[in-house]
Amino acid sequence: MQLVAQIVLNGVLLGGFYACMALGFSIVWGVMNMVNLAYGSMIMIGAYVTQLAVLQLGLPLAAALPLAALATFTLGYVLQRGLLNRLSERSVFMTLIFTFGLNMALINVNLLLFSADVRSLPDVFGRASFVIAGLSVPYSRATIFAVAMAMTFGLHALLHWTRLGNAIKATSFDPVAARLSGIDVPHVYALTFALGGAIAGVTGALVATSYSFSPFAGESYTMKAFVVVVLGGLGSIPGAIIGGLLLGIVENLASLFLDSGYRDAVGFALLLTVLVLRPRGLMGRRFFAELKT
């Protein structure tokens, strides 16, 4: 029983990271009706910026993390205003093709700048841990979970308690009505994509602290984000939390009762089950984006 409890706790901590990863993917998809296949490559850019800031500039992780977010926020805003905004009225299939090409371009840019070598930061947190109710909690996982939850609640506050958040929600429901009410829809789209990029940068900083990474590692993170968003429900921040936690727990339990190689297969089986029983996800709602053709 103690082993199962430890596995579930590890799954919860991993699920917090999954939730953080999915937030940027979810907000772009929910507001702009765009599946950003370049999201994983933006996470990798955040990881590389973090590594450079810590190892080359000697900055502490607390300073490197907002630097990574700023870099990917700027990249996201420039990409949206310069390229993606031209596709805002196109079908989701066109944006899929475009972001697929963008992903290939970013992978090659990362290859050119950083090479194909697998990199990682020295163990920032060490192997230290603390104990709660007899269960071991590594400081590294607890820190990542705390940052993920702070990001989640910060985004929730932005969307529900600020004028920008109201503009983003209005644009997600009906961009035509939002434009008629005086909202600068292209600017809101650019800020939304940039906000998703900033979340990707923070996720990349977390990746750099605990995992090895390379220019090609981003695709697996895009896939995880996609699964979490579909599980939780498109555009739902609480859904991203629940979807991330559920996926983390299920994957860890699969490693206990099955071979660890089946982790991803069990996750996709869970995804298919939710799609059959509740196509909008666990906490999904009907957004205007679903009505676009």
Distances in whole angstroms, Cα of residue 84 to Cα of each of 27, 44, 100, 198: 15, 20, 12, 17
Q: Is the pLDDT of residue 210 over 60?
A: yes
Share of the chain above pLDDT 70, in %: 93
Q: Is the pLDDT of residue 292 over 60?
A: no
Q: Is the pLDDT of residue 93 over 80?
A: no
Q: What is the 3 state secondary structure string of 224-252? A: HHHHHHHHHCCCCHHHHHHHHHHHHHHHH
Q: Is the pLDDT of residue 104 over 90?
A: yes
Q: Is the pLDDT of residue 112 over 90?
A: yes
What's the pTM? 0.89
Contact in structure between 251 and 156 (CB atoms under 8 Å): no
Domain ranges of the chain: 2-291
Q: Is the pLDDT of residue 199 over 90?
A: yes
Contact in structure between 171 and 185 (CB atoms under 8 Å): yes
Q: Report how far residue 144's alpha carbon sits from residue 275's, in angstroms, rounded to the nearest whole number.
A: 29
Contact in structure between 219 and 207 (CB atoms under 8 Å): no
How crowded is residue 2: how many other Cβ atoms within 10 Å of its Cβ? 9
> pLDDT (tens digit, 9 = 90+) per residue, 121-143?
876 666 677 777 778 888 878 88
Q: Does domain 2-291 have CATH number 1.10.3470?
A: yes
